[in-house]
Structure 1
């Protein structure tokens, strides 16, 4: 056989393998109806906002490489967007669901289709509302199973999502509004914690208000634990059983044995348990971890319970685990710092060369009073939160993604500082009375972003402070995973801290709990073009301004053709309603427009598939595209052309 023939056979084999792998991938399609749901909790009936009539919402199950298509229909009275927490959104940044960052919200009565590919990720992620406090009841698990290989640990008998949450005997939107009308930003303490939506027997004896898990003796179970709470880190234990942690934030870890899981809002933990205890009933329990306390507890210091019951167990009272104290910092720190990443073929390695160095402080400070606040001390101001003394101001006219790709640079400033305005004794609580720190108390509002070049390595020192208040801040970065190189207490000291950097097998996360009165160092590669917010996952801190945005640049800027735009913004855009499944092709109005389109640099047309009920964007001359051509899709390559000649006005 000659080399030419051999090469052809090899190419044919590779092509066939690729075709088989592609054929194995699927489009997983679901519909979310967001609306009112009446539920009973703590012996009271309440109307909440929920998805498909359940709390928690539906669990999404896909395989790595699948495409997820979710039709969100907003039947609620509130604006809504859905964030797919931890999904990279490669070349689909408009589907990230960050309200006013990557999209404008879905208005009441409106709908939007989220379509994105889930590649290069496997494990436990989740989805939740990214508007106000609605994620307290609008959330659910997103499970990504491996494709063409097994787990790097023993195969579990069953996989069980465990969502830890919070419950208020009130409308959570009203809870948020009440906190900020006074200018204090202090959220009313929740009435209960929950396990899979139910608080358990330690609160009341209301019938059937506790989650129950039945298990078979001698089996291994994989618990996919998610902290969907709004305001609290949590301890989680099961009486008489230990955990083996095998992944965090959908990234595998070296197996870590522990009797307690510590988990911050936004984080996920995959943990194995073996049902090798005597047949009985055992409580699962979750209670808050609150690492600093000045005066009486200002948090929900209660415990949620659920029951794990062996199939052949009698009805004796369940055994209760011994929970850590709410301020057991040593237990929490030991859990967080003992986790290491699993080194395996194909896993990312820590980049050693750093192009962008950032030192970022988190400060609770003071802002000028907002005219909408009912009560505010005009001389002292209102509570604000900041990163490097900048309190992030969310845009209102259009999303940052749209503003960036359409070149509306007046909507934001590209000068987010790499360092705080002054270096001081960050964690010294007595400095609150030092007049020299008065300028740091006065934070500034601004829509400031950090621009980073494609493929640049970014290292961030995340430093907590003790100004006004002390808190653990769980920081979540959209669009990327990061390596956790080190964590510690006190003020970050480069000389001593760098000797502790784990550059070999650090844990990989998308959300990190920066210790109260402490610091953490993370490092990531900016390899995902788009506009990505980084924010505190204590929900009350986001409207206070504890956020910033990374704008990932490329050599050829691109636009989000699928983004949901704000209505009535005067941009002259409109939409055409798709009456049946169609392929859509849009003609670009100029060479400049071609440069603006996502992943398209040299084409006159951009095309994508649309489904019945989709709103196809089109425009007047002078903006990126102005003529929508649709092709009914009886088959994948049908091209019976139909030209849409008009639009129906500004996109609602």
Structure 2
């Protein structure tokens, strides 16, 4: 019996598309190269991994160790973030440039070495420097351990669906032009579905992405939003989804005709091909309930039933309006942790740190900008300045002068946050972190503001997952709103939307030592400084301490 189990495990290992040295270790090689994609109707080369857009899918099984060698063949610095991987004690492999590592310089390489501990589901990887994640991104698929089935009926097939944005111009040129003007960068020219653009003039996209299904079968769509700056709706004509997981955490299943995913978020949804025959439009469109300019185009694909006649037309669907706040709120409010015996919800019931972070846009004087000012962003009036060496490196080796640990836990100047405001409240520029003791229980209320304009903010925290215990519109009221917190089955995530003119309350346990980035996953806001970092001290003994850095860690 033991020999049969070992043989089964070996066969299971060999099924995965990786160069496997032994069961439990997956090896990948990522070559960063310039590639021209003819299907994008553009002659300009783009930065890709292994010449693919989107990049290759990383497959693993829960508790596997991944060794991913990234070789940089382009003239940009590069770093890769494994978005949602908790990186317990292995912050050196987390990826954000100048936070946990210096970037991989041209013609250099680095091996990301980490273990996928206690996680299963869909995540993503992407570049974490400049705006290169526009084309440098892909899926991470983590299967449950052998013998641990899904907590829902096994689907007939699983399909990765990656949503993105596309610019006709080089994205770095777009950013450079924005920095010169001091204003927001140009919006994207189209959205993409698995690398195929939507409606672009003079570009037929070679027919777009086609999802073939068999009548009566159920499929699990692993939906990923890899876009830089847009929350996106996904809808399929005539069909409904059953949502079973978000951000690699199982949820109580619920049915919806529209899925909402913010940049950095993932959603697993079951889709049953129950209409028998035909072609059905797949539509991806933006959600933005503020007066910010977005790419208003709709990306399209086709759900095609096998056996459908070639002459059959496509049933259309109408995407939600871009300001469909009720649709977005209904989806978010439906998310609940599965909270079962096998998958319990370990939300902290009490907290050691109660923080209020205001998320703001503002205008600062800029002598070199054409308009005389520059748009900035901040958390608690601190616009984050990127250091010249990584924060984790300076923390681990006690290098002084790189950062301070005095990030304010509350706004320096309380005010009517979501009311009409002046364009700034004395924004400070600094590299400041908030220090946490190991195993501290933390509550952070992410408060949107009315600086310049109210706007959506998908906030991502590295290193740990958090529980979304509450959300609301207007200013957070600690006495009244805290009474309504869900401490029974709140959804567990790594990225959460702060609604326009509203707030979200999250809780987490700081049980991972290191330096962990918190930032808006709208790349434009991150560029403007809407970011900070938590420094989690070591606990007791080596098993609660950051591991030493690897020998090939890039140098600045």
- TM value normalised by structure 2: 0.92
The structure 2 residue matched to 1:363, chosen from 360, 371, 383, is 360
C-alpha distance in 1 between matches for 2:347 and 2:121: 20
Deviation at 1:92, TM superposition (A): 1.1
Aligned to 1:65: 63
Closer, same or farther in 2 for the Cα pair 1:555/1:234, shift >3 Å? closer
Residues 202 and 305 in structure 1, CA contact (< 8 A), matched pair in contact too: no
Match of 1:350 in 2: 347
Task: Tell me if the contact between 1:40 and 1:46 (Cα under 8 Å) persists in the aligned partners.
Answer: no
What displacement does 1:499 show? 2.3
Q: RCO (CA 8 Å, sep 6+): is it higher in 1 or 2?
A: 2
Aligned to 2:17: none
1:403 equivalenced with 2:394 (yes/no): yes
Alignment of 1:449-598 (within 5 A): 449-555=433-539, 558=546, 560-562=548-550, 567=555
CA distance in 2: counterparts of 1:45 and 1:37, whole angstroms: 10
- TM-score, normalising length from structure 1? 0.79
Rounded Cα–Cα distance in structure 2 between residues aligned with 1:137 and 1:450: 32
| Counterpart position of 2:213 | 215
Q: Are residues 1:418 and 2:402 paired?
A: no
2:155 is aligned to 156
Alpha-carbon separation, structure 1, partners of 2:178 and 2:439? 41
What is the CA-CA distance between 1:374 and the residue it aligns to? Answer: 4.7
Counterpart CA distance in 2 for 1:38 and 1:87 is: 30
Contact 1:366–1:442 (CA<8 Å) still a contact in 2?
no
Q: Could you say if the C-alpha distance between residues 454 and 563 of structure 1 is closer, same or farther in structure 2, counting changes exceeding 3 Å?
A: farther
* SS of the residue 2:59 aligns to: strand
* Deviation (angstroms), 1:77: 1.4
The equivalent residue for 1:166 is 165
Deviation at 1:562, TM superposition (A): 1.6
Match 1:300 to one of 295, 300, 318 = 295
Q: CA deviation at 1:538?
A: 0.3
Change (3 A) 1:132 1:541: same
TM-aligned CA deviation for residue 38 of structure 1: 0.4
Distance in 1, matches of 2:552 and 2:391, equals 12
3-state SS in 1 of match to 2:206: coil
Per-residue deviation, residues 74-103 of structure 1 (Å, max 9, x unmatched): 111100000000000112110001100000
- CA distance, structure 1, for counterparts of residue 171 and residue 26 of structure 2: 31
Q: Do the aligned partners of residues 308 and 326 (structure 1) sit closer, same or farther apart at CA in structure 2, a change above 3 Å counting?
A: same
Which runs of 5 or more structure 2 residues have no equivalent in the other structure? 14-21
Q: Does the alignment pair 1:323 with 2:319?
A: yes
> Aligned residue for 1:46?
44
The equivalences for 1:35-114 within 5 A come to 35-41=33-39, 43-114=41-112
- Helix, strand or coil at the partner of 2:30: strand
Instruction: Confirm or deny: 8 A CA contact 1:202 1:304 kept in the other structure.
Output: no
Question: How far does residue 558 in structure 1 lie from its aligned partner after superposition?
Answer: 4.4
**Cross-structure match for 1:176:** 175
Q: 2: CA distance between counterparts of 1:317 and 1:83?
A: 42
Please report how far the alpha carbon of residue 368 of structure 1 lies from its aligned counterpart in structure 2 after TM superposition: 4.5
Matched residue SS, 1:543: helix
1:202-281 equivalence runs, <5 A: 204=202, 206=204, 208-281=206-279
Q: Is the 8 A contact 2:216 2:276 kept in 1?
A: no
Partner SS, residue 550 of structure 2: coil
Q: For the Cα contact (< 8 Å) 2:126–2:138, is it kept in 1?
A: yes
Alpha-carbon distance between aligned partners in 2 of 1:248 and 1:412, rounded to the nearest angstrom: 34
Distance of 1:200 and 1:301 partners within structure 2: 11
Instruction: Give 1:348 shift.
Output: 3.9
Where 1:131 maps in the other structure, the secondary structure is: coil
Match of 1:583 in 2: none
Q: Does 1:393 align with 2:385?
A: yes
Q: For the structure 1 residues 564 and 321, does the alpha-carbon distance in structure 2 shift closer, same or farther, using more than 3 Å as the test?
A: farther
Deviation at 1:401, TM superposition (A): 0.5
**1:383 counterpart residue number:** 375
Q: Which moved more, 1:131-140 or 1:169-178?
A: 169-178
Output one character per residue of 1:210-233: Cα deviation in whole Å (capped at 9) or x when no partner. Answer: 011111111110000000001100
SS at match of 1:94: helix
Cα offsets for 1:416-448 (capped at 9, x unmatched): 00100122211113x33xxxxx7x533010000
For the pair 1:193 / 2:177, whether they are aligned, the reply is: no
The whole-number CA distance in structure 2 between the counterparts of 1:194 and 1:354 is: 41
CA 1:330 to 1:558, structure 2 compared with 1: closer, same or farther past 3 Å?
Answer: closer
After superposition, the C-alpha distances for 1:102-159 in whole angstroms (9 at most, x for unaligned) are 0000011111101110010000001000011100100000000000311010001111
Determine the C-alpha separation between the residues in 2 that align with 1:25 and 1:363: 48
CA distance in 2, matches of 1:564, 1:544: 31
Alpha-carbon separation, structure 2, partners of 1:462 and 1:525: 17
SS at match of 2:196: coil
User: Number of aligned pairs?
Assistant: 534
User: How far is the alpha carbon of 1:43 from its aligned partner?
Assistant: 3.3
Secondary structure (helix, strand or coil) at the match of 2:27 reads strand
CA–CA distance in structure 2, aligned partners of residues 330 and 471 of structure 1: 16
In the superposition, relative to structure 1, how do residues 31 and 312 fare at CA in structure 2: closer, same or farther (>3 Å)?
same
Q: Following TM superposition, by how much is the alpha carbon of 1:289 offset from its aligned partner in structure 2, in angstroms?
A: 0.3
